[in-house]
Structure 1
Amino acid sequence: MSMVFTLAPEPEAEAAETGRLLFAGPVEFVKGVVAMPGLPPADRVEVCFAGRSNVGKSSLINALTNRKTLARASNTPGRTQEINYFALGEERYLVDLPGYGFAEAPVAIVRKWQELLKAYLSGRQTLRRAFVLIDSRHGVKAVDDEIMTMLDKSAVTFQVVMTKLDKINKETREKNIEQVKQALQKHPAAYPEIILTSSEKGEGLETLRAVIATLA
């Protein structure tokens, strides 16, 4: 039986408030990690953000946390070469994974990063959900499919967050949402609700905050 994928509904008032309070509280950069032994203690729930280079990951993290420069945005694909940990209050980690599909990075560096990513995804017991960012202008590309397959193999539940929604018209939006739904059919680890966002317009941020805040 195929899974039915839908757009995430707006959160209930209580969940929305829980999300607002979590992200209105302290958010601090903890450390950038280049190897598994450098990870902070697995003493709290964590969520991670993964996405192709230039998908708008830094912009989304900054918009979510109401901080302009928390995550450094770079115009050079593959510039973020670390797993960056942020503390969301006392009980959550928000983890920013290196952008994948490095156009500019040397092969050896890419290989090293793929190995670290695999080790992190399969070995982090406190990881509750991965958010896979998909550029709504392009839909799912082959390199996105690869990361989703890696998440399937690691048995990590992932949820698609479509970014840059303000950059497309209604027709393209509907076509690309349909393409994403079709692409997710073959990924058993995919969570059935897709979150639509625009960092610039603030669309979908309340929903994403609520989802993160209510993950046990």
Structure 2
Amino acid sequence: MSDKNLTPEQIATIRKLFSGPCEFFAGVMDLNGLPPEGAPEIAFAGRSNVGKSSLINALTARKTLARTSNTPGRTQQLNFFDLGGVFWLVDMPGYGYAKVSKKMREEWDNLIFSYLRGRPSLRSVFVLIDSRHGLKDVDLDLIKMLDAAGVSARIVLTKVDKAGFQELKKTTEQVEAALKKHPSAFPFVLPTSSDKGTGIPDLQVAILELIGG
């Protein structure tokens, strides 16, 4: 979606919201540290090294809001960011990374899943999928949990600039076919590229709709 598909009011709201104040205010490593519920929450989840930090930076027109690293598993806590007092963006720990201890994987997974089950202010989880690799079993496990918890899921394809046309088409078709089996999931994917800016306006509009903007 380009600016020409949006109303002037939507464009102004999006620019103010995503380019305005954005402050980190909580890093949570266990459920006892969760901040009291306040603004609507939008969470981002995905396998380690899926490009989550880069996407969050692109979404908020910043370079260093979320740390990026070539080392999978860098995000090890729930990181809360306040966007202008309008909504909270929650950067979740990457999951599915094999080269950490079993105990650490279990702790991360328990934190993620417990948060998703018990947070009424959570409006939706954007589940990031590498456009070159498609859905993995760990992604489906998360979506199934969202089904059980009654939390809506939106699937975001990342790194579409690195996928060929046919590869992207195949991945999109496979993912959307799988989503039909999951009541929590929006039936269509959002293709994005952090490097090229592809799909970022669509993602911003989707968030705006979820928080009632």
Give the TM interval when normalised to the shorter protein: over 0.9
Runs (4+) off by over 4 Å = none
Contact 2:179 2:186 in 1 (8 A): no
TM-score (norm 2): 0.93
82, 85, 109: which one aligns with 1:87? 82
Among 48, 58, 67, the alignment partner of 1:53 is: 48
What are the equivalent positions in structure 2 for 1:25-64 lying under 5 Å apart?
25-64=20-59
Among candidates 204, 208, 211, match of residue 209 of structure 1: 204
Alignment of 1:168 with 2:170, yes or no, is no
Matched, 1:98 2:98: no
The one of 185, 189, 200 aligned to 1:194:
189
Q: Distance in 2 between matches of 1:17 and 1:192?
A: 28
CA offset digits 1:152-183 (Å, max 9, x no partner): 11110000011001001111111110011112
The count of residues paired between Structure 1 and Structure 2 equals 208
Alpha-carbon separation, structure 2, partners of 1:145 and 1:16:
34
Root mean square deviation, CA, Å: 1.4
Cα distance in 1 between the residues matched to 2:112 and 2:100: 16
Alpha carbons 2:49, 2:72 under 8 Å: kept: yes
The amino acid across from 2:104 in the alignment is I
Letter in 2 for 1:58: S
1:74-124: CA deviation from partner (whole Å, max 9, x where unpaired): 222222110000111112100000001022111111111221112100111
Q: Secondary structure at the match of 2:76?
A: coil
Superposed displacement of residue 214, structure 1: 2.6
User: 2 CA distance for matches of 1:82 and 1:62?
Assistant: 17
Instruction: Flag structure 1 segments of 5+ consecutive residues without an equivalent.
Output: 1-8
- Of 120, 126, 131, the residue aligned with 1:131 is 126
SS in 2 for 1:214: helix
Q: Which has the higher contact order (CA 8 A, sep 6+)?
A: 1
Contact 1:49 1:57 in 2 (8 A): yes
Take 1:20 and 1:209, find their aligned partners in 2: how far apart are those partners? Answer: 9
Equivalence for 2:6: 12
Provide the secondary structure at the position in 1 that maps to 2:189: strand
Moved more, 20-29 or 93-102: 20-29
Secondary structure at the aligned position of 1:32 is classed as strand
- Is contact 2:176–2:187 with CA below 8 Å preserved after alignment? no
Letter in 1 for 2:6: E
35-44 or 59-68: which moved more?
35-44
Give the letter for the 1:115 counterpart.
N
Matching residue within 34, 58, 67 for 1:72? 67
